[in-house]
Amino acid sequence: MPRNETLTGGCQCGAVRFATKLVGRGSICHCRMCQKAFGGFFGPLVTTHDGHWTRGEPKWFQSSNAARRAFCGECGTPLAYETRFGLELAIGAFDDPEAVAPQIQVNPADKLGFFDHLAQLPVRDDAGPEWRDFMAGIHSNQHPDHDTADWPAKNRE
């Protein structure tokens, strides 16, 4: 679907960035290859019809005879999936993942048995003062959720 604004995103370290205006339906893919490629319970992807790399180039892995997957060669962030039908970008790599939220689940035969019950797990709201102190002392080296002229920034703390 065409959008008025350009959607941007990229890897965790900022070495590879992308942009797109034309996106399709976001999906959660439960296939085992997506689980392995993302190191997670599923692969969150959205089709792009005009996606292009704006900084750097990803590395590619031919994951099957029909598909290849893109990732950052510096930090390893999963970025894309490509077949003869086109390019899909990783939803979590977008600067605003909410803009391309999943609308469908695919390949349910490989869905992990515990997936449908994840929302029922207990939530730990307060981990205590020791954990809060630890979290307060973290200085992130992650690229910010917006485009930058260069990265890493020259005058970072």
- Residues 6 or more apart whose CB falls under 8 angstroms from that of 27 comprise 44, 45, 46, 102, 103, 104, 105, 106
Model confidence pLDDT, tens digit, residues 30-40: 999 999 999 99
pLDDT > 50? residue 157: no
| Nearest partner of 113 among 27, 41, 11, 35, judged by Cα | 41
Domains of the chain: 2-113 (2.170.150.70)
pTM: 0.87
DSSP H or E segment with residue 135: helix 129-136
Model confidence pLDDT, tens digit, residues 96-155: 999 999 999 999 999 999 999 999 999 887 778 888 888 888 888 888 889 888 777 665
pLDDT at 127: 76
